[in-house]
Amino acid sequence: MTWLLVLAGGMLGAPLRYLTDRAVQARHATGFPWGTFTANMAGSVLLGFLTGAALSSHALLFLGTGLCGALTTYSTFSYETLALARGGAGLQAAANALGSVLAGLGAAYVGLTLAQAF
Amino acid sequence: MQHDPDTAAASRQKPHQASVLAAVALGGGIGAVARHAASRAWPTAMDAFPWTTLCVNVVGCALIGILMVTVTETGRRVPPLVRPFLGTGVLGGFTTFSTYAVDVQHLIERGHPATALTYLAGTLAAALAAVWLASAATRKALGVPV
């Protein structure tokens, strides 16, 4: 049962990230990976909220481990950062790396604060 | 060489959006289950350094370096669903940014700011090193010009 919950959450989260990335990247003309950034921030807010809310362990496996885990990604984030650096956009690479990490932590706090407000 | 492909030829070359989404979803489910298996096999105690998530993320970063060089830089024909399935799906679902961010937050909240900062910076440094080293090694192994 727990495996199925994680599987189902992952099967929702990954295509949601793919669609988010496509939608965001189609709306700006720069090479900056705003799509992955958006998915990572959305997932971090949501997971911060979920861990702050009193959820059942089953709900956490489905929404947290599965959905938020697959909605967000470290592999694409690091690959896109490397691609920026290799393409000569060192400043953007550094901004993406540090900005994502700091904003992600901020996003987790936003989610936790929201959970405590409800 | 076909410079102006008709729509049938174009649709043969480019997979349908629905099959890309299905490949991403299937891969994402597999990746998430693999990550869950790792966290079950090597559980991390409440206030401890999250080694398992760090290792999952670093391994995923090394693998995407290998995958992306193989798929996008060798000039070989790779089936069109390989990248969405393995890259966006499996590796995207295997690695996680949200658990990383929330684990840093928990370490801070529970009074372990030094561990939190080490984990925050250590994951970033190890992940970037992994994708860089793996892609460079793959270029060398496959004879791809840098």
pLDDT 10s digits, B3-15? 444 444 444 567 7
pLDDT of residue A4: 98
**Closest CB to A75 among B26, B92, B99:** B92
- Asked whether the predicted pLDDT for residue B18 surpasses 60, the reply is yes
Q: Which residue has the tokens 């987790």?
A: A108
Q: Which residue has the tokens 């089936």?
A: B79
pLDDT in tens, A46-88: 999 999 998 999 999 999 999 999 999 999 999 999 999 999 9
A9 closest CA partner among A51, A59, A63, A55: A63
Q: Answer for the pair B101, A44: CB distance below 8 angstroms, yes or no.
A: yes
Q: Which residue has the tokens 């090694």?
A: B137
Give A-chain residues touching B20 at CB under 8 angstroms.
18
Which of B20, B102, B128 to mutate against chain A (most A CBs within 10 Å)? B102
Cβ pairs bridging A and B (under 8 Å) = 176
Q: What is the three-class DSSP state of A87? A: coil
pLDDT of residue A39: 98
pLDDT of residue A5: 98
The length of chain B in residues reads 146
Interface check A84 vs B, CB under 8 A: no
- In chain B, which ranges are E strands? none
The ipTM, to two decimals, is 0.96
* Rounded Cα–Cα distance for residues B109 and A112 (Å): 11
Q: Where are the domains of chain B?
A: 7-142
Average pLDDT over residues B33-47: 96
**Closest CB to A44 among B101, B124, B135:** B101
Kindly give, in sequence order, each residue whose CB lies less than 8 Å from that of residue B21, ignoring residues fewer than 6 positions away. A15, A18, A19
